[in-house]
Amino acid sequence: MSLEAIKKTKFNFSGQTSFYKGKVRDVYYLQNKLVVVASDRISAFDHILPKAIPFKGQILNQIAAHFLKASHEIVPNWLEANPDQNVSIGKKAEPIKLEMVVRGYLAGHAWREYKAGERKICGVSMPQGMKEGDRFPNPIITPATKAEEGHDEDISAEDIISQKIVTEEEWNTLTRYAMDLFYLGSKMAKEKGLILVDTKYEFGWYAGGIILIDEVHTPDSSRYYILDGYDERQEKGEKQKQLSKEFVREWLMENGFQGKEGQVMPEMPEAFVNTVTERYIELYEILTGHTFERRDYNNVESKIESAVESYLEKENQ
């Protein structure tokens, strides 16, 4: 049986100045704040899939809040409140058009490049003789430019500075923040029996400084391996057990889609949609240590609107 899901939103909050629809999140701009509604849309290979995944937005929003609250003392971030399970409200920063991708292990895009014969990614050298899932001697940062449309593009630190996307000093701050977050995320993951394989962070300028924006350590922005049996699987050359969105990408590739020109997006059967929901719930419960409480989708739009307006009214008193 198909569950309800939040595929799109259309609010007009008090003081709203503009609106931006991201791949997954709908962003409502106020004078000095952002209201971010996490929809149940799912994207892969920079394309939004036709079907939404029930509870996915709630899961992403609550995992992001969990990690933003856990890391705010080491890296300042944008989050101020979560008035609804699918909503985050916080500071309106000017986004830095970079994704700071940190990789502790050879997987995903880096592995696909490595398998194709590349030994450098974003100007960073990768050791010879590695296989998929191997740990890098030290985590590496492989940044990507944040595209308005289409694919994000790999870019080196040298090009980032020469193109004046950020100054060298700002780049050093971004690097330090990204590594500090990655080490914290890795520690928190290990405590839950997981390995943080790779992840991405986004930052923005706010009040003369740099703050962390967007989500953090969610299954949409991060890849996790199961720690138990990792070494054994690597030694045997077996595929690692993982909790991430990679299994959705793999399903798409098996069905002939990698986001390339001329390829047709396959339709996810209902059974697979339900599998995706269950996998997201599993990751939420492992990562946070909390039992997931499924939100009620009845009158979900009015519940979100009421929660946001109530919060804004209190803030303006």
CATH number, domain with residue 100: 3.30.470.20
Examine residue 80 and state whether it is found in any structural domain, yes or no: no
Alpha helices, DSSP H, located in the chain: 56-71, 108-115, 157-162, 168-191, 230-236, 246-254, 270-288, 300-315
Residue 187 lies in a domain: yes
pLDDT, tens digit (0-9, with 9 covering 90-100), for 160-204: 999 999 999 999 999 999 999 999 999 999 999 999 999 999 999
> What Rg, from alpha-carbon coordinates, does the chain have?
19
* 291 is a domain residue: no
What phi, psi does 49 have (nearest 5°)?
-75, 150
Domain contains 259: no
| Residue 151 belongs to some domain of the structure | yes
For the chain, the domain total comes to 1
Has residue 284 been placed in a domain? no
Q: What is the mean pLDDT of residues 236-260?
A: 89
DSSP letter at 262 equals T
In a domain, 268, yes or no: no
pTM of the model: 0.89
pLDDT over 70 at 151, yes or no? no
**Rounded Cα distance, 316 and 140, in Å:** 44
Q: For residue 220, give the amino acid letter.
A: D
| The predicted structure's pLDDT at residue 146 | 78
Q: List, in order, residues 6 or more apart from 173 with CB less than 8 Å away.
A: 210
- Residue 209 in domain: yes
pLDDT greater than 50 at residue 280 = yes
pLDDT digits (tens, 9 = 90+) for 84-114: 999 999 999 999 999 999 999 999 999 999 9
Range of the structural domain that residue 102 is part of = 95-247
Give residue 1's pLDDT.
32
At residue 150, the pLDDT reads: 57
Confidence of residue 246 (pLDDT cuts 50, 70, 90): confident
Give which of 142, 43, 106 is closest to 240, Cα–Cα.
106
294-304 mean pLDDT: 95
Residue 240 is given by DSSP the state P
Which of 240, 197, 27, 224 lies closest to 101, judged by CA?
Answer: 197
**Measuring CA to CA, which residue among 43, 17, 40, 39 is closest to residue 28?**
17
Residue 232 has pLDDT above 90, yes or no: yes
